[in-house]
Chains A and B, each alone.
Chain A
Amino acid sequence: MNWDFIAEYLPMYERAAILTVKLGVIGIVFAILVGLICAMIQYHKIPVARQIVAVYIELSRNTPLLVQLFFIYYGLPKLGANLSPEVCGIIGLAFLGGSYMAESFRSGLETIAPIQRESALSLGMTNRQAMQYIILPQAVSMSVPAFVANVIFLLKETSVFSAISLMDLMFTAKDLIGLYYKTIESLFLLVVFYLIILLPVSILGSLLERRMRHAGFGS
């Protein structure tokens, strides 16, 4: 193992890791927003919007992120929209992640028995108040396991960013191998950095799940 090589190119991996995390986090945040909006639309059965959401979910869950990125990065410019690879990456994650988040939130919402909502309304709460104080908090805590799984999934999916010229961890490793042929060292750093990113997420996720379980279920 050539430790000099590892030391020399560690900064490249750091940069790539930061890029991966940065784009991953921004993409995931947007995915959560998209997911919440879609879940609410479906829960409230808003006409027209809910059909659009249903189509969107089927479309994005049944196409790979790579395909979606290709469309956004290589296809959109043909229609005149030239976006930077970073923006495309974020859009791709938000698009794909949004549908996964939507499904997680929706199933969380549906687990809350309608009568729980009725008891909130009976106390004089408006629909919005019932949603904000009673339904949503419970739905969110029920969605946590699925949510954490989605976050980890999306972070791992960032490895396809190489296809649109983003120097993420995967591409960095591939590129260095292509330039300097130090396969072992390059892959070793790749694994280490993915662990550095994913392990804390996984642990935080477990902690979050445990805390949320305190919300308790069953009256």
Chain B
Amino acid sequence: MAETLLTVENLTKKFEGNTILDGLNLTIQRGEVVVIVGPSGCGKSTFLRCINALEPIQEGTISLQGTPIVYGSKNLAEVRQKIGMVFQSYELFPHLTVLDNIMLAPMKVQKRNKDEVKEEALQLLDRIGLKDKADSFPRQLSGGQKQRVAIVRALCMHPEILLFDEVTAALDPEMVREVLDVMLDLAKQGRTMIIVTHEMQFAKAVADRVIFFDQGHIVEEAAPDEFFEHPKTERAKQFLNVFSFEKVEHNK
């Protein structure tokens, strides 16, 4: 029986009178890769941010391995060490080298030994083929390289669970692949991941479970094959239609 890592119960978030998330329930087991899809503005990113307590919630509870995650609480920093988050805009620290970007939190937050951290950081960089960029600054890297460094930076903290917030949405197509490859590799390693994405082929390949969000609700939840080939709800069908095209007859 797999361990339950993350539990979300009755999560409700409102903002300026609008209900963004409405009574969500979700559990994530260790080693699961959950992919969240849905139209823009349906609350997927907000959901991730709530899990990481970057947003306040009005109702409901979130807990990681039994520890409650409460917005604004004093033990947040400690809990967040177990959650790794990667943002669409990479958010590397521009004033630090790639290596320092990765090493900063493990050293200052987890108080780990510098040499140990450095060794791991270089290993991780090597694994994604960017060891030679260790002393470069973020501005010298391409988007895809930056995002891969961001992933490695999160990994170096030894998180229990990884959150990916549309991490390839801002990248050129060639670079999208190199990032997705890293994520596939992580899935293969058995990492627990929640991925918000628009990349449907990728979702099909990597997910254990696909969750379809719409207007703050979980509308459908299924294994990837099921969801993509045989969507059950109208909304899901409409959504998936967006991604398929019929051949167009050109008027000659």
- Which residues of chain B are near A11, meaning CB under 8 Å? none
* Contact yes or no, A123 B157, CB < 8 A: yes
Given contacts A122-B52, A216-B139, contact A138 B105 (CB under 8 A): no
Q: Mark A109-136 against chain B: 1 for CB-CB distance below 8 A, else 0.
A: 0000001101111111110010001100
| Chain A CB within 8 A of B130 CB | no
Contact of B77 among A125, A215, A219 (CB under 8 A): A125
User: How far is B166's CA from A115's CA once the two chains are assembled, in angstroms?
Assistant: 15
- Which residues of chain B are near A120, meaning CB under 8 Å? 93
Q: Nearest Cβ distance between residue B18 and chain A, in whole angstroms?
A: 21
Contact of A121 among B54, B138, B157 (CB under 8 A): B54
Given contacts A122-B80, A123-B80, contact A219 B92 (CB under 8 A): yes
Q: Mark B129-163 against chain A: 1 for CB-CB distance below 8 A, else 0.
A: 00000000111000000100000011001000000
Residue of A nearest to B137 (CB): A216
- Which residues of chain B are near A118, meaning CB under 8 Å? 54, 87, 91
- Which residues of chain A are near B104, meaning CB under 8 Å? 123, 133
| Chain B CB within 8 A of A218 CB | yes
User: How far is B153's CA from A137's CA once the two chains are assembled, in angstroms?
Assistant: 19
Residue of A nearest to B79 (CB): A124
Residue of A nearest to B89 (CB): A219
* Contact yes or no, A216 B95, CB < 8 A: yes
- Which residues of chain B are near A180, meaning CB under 8 Å? none
Given contacts A115-B87, A118-B54, A218-B139, contact A137 B95 (CB under 8 A): yes
Count the A-B residue pairs with Cβ separation under 8 angstroms: how many?
Answer: 77
Residue of A nearest to B102 (CB): A123
User: How far is B85's CA from A120's CA once the two chains are assembled, in angstroms?
Assistant: 10
- Which residues of chain B are near A121, meaning CB under 8 Å? 54, 76-77, 80
User: How far is B149's CA from A119's CA once the two chains are assembled, in angstroms?
Assistant: 13
- Which residues of chain B are near A215, meaning CB under 8 Å? 94-95
User: How far is B187's CA from A195's CA once the two chains are assembled, in angstroms?
Assistant: 65
Task: Report B73-115 residues with CB < 8 Å from chain A CB.
Answer: 76-78, 80-81, 83-85, 87, 89-95, 104-105, 108-110
Task: Report A192-219 residues with CB < 8 Å from chain B CB.
Answer: 214-219
| Chain B CB within 8 A of A141 CB | yes
Q: Nearest Cβ distance between residue A212 and chain B, in whole angstroms?
A: 9
Which of A115, A119, A121, A138 counts the most chain B CB atoms within 10 A?
Answer: A119
Residue of B nearest to A125 (CB): B109
User: How far is B90's CA from A122's CA once the two chains are assembled, in angstroms?
Assistant: 12
- Which residues of chain B are near A218, meaning CB under 8 Å? 94, 139
Q: Nearest Cβ distance between residue B99 and chain A, in whole angstroms?
A: 15
Residues on B close to A: CB < 8 A? Answer: 52, 54, 76-78, 80-81, 83-85, 87, 89-95, 104-105, 108-110, 137-139, 146, 153-154, 157
Residues on A close to B: CB < 8 A? Answer: 115-116, 118-126, 129, 133-134, 137-138, 141, 214-219
- 16 further contact pairs, Cβ within 8 A, besides A122-B83, A123-B157, A216-B95: A115-B89, A116-B91, A119-B91, A121-B54, A121-B80, A122-B52, A122-B80, A122-B85, A123-B80, A123-B104, A125-B105, A125-B109, A126-B109, A133-B108, A138-B95, A219-B94
Counting from the closest, the 3 A-B pairs by CB-CB distance are A119-B91, A124-B81, A123-B105
Q: What are 27 A-B contacts with C-beta separation under 8 Å?
A: A116-B93, A118-B54, A119-B85, A119-B91, A119-B93, A120-B93, A121-B54, A121-B77, A122-B54, A123-B80, A123-B104, A123-B109, A124-B109, A125-B105, A125-B109, A126-B109, A129-B77, A129-B108, A133-B104, A138-B95, A215-B95, A216-B94, A216-B138, A217-B139, A219-B90, A219-B94, A219-B138
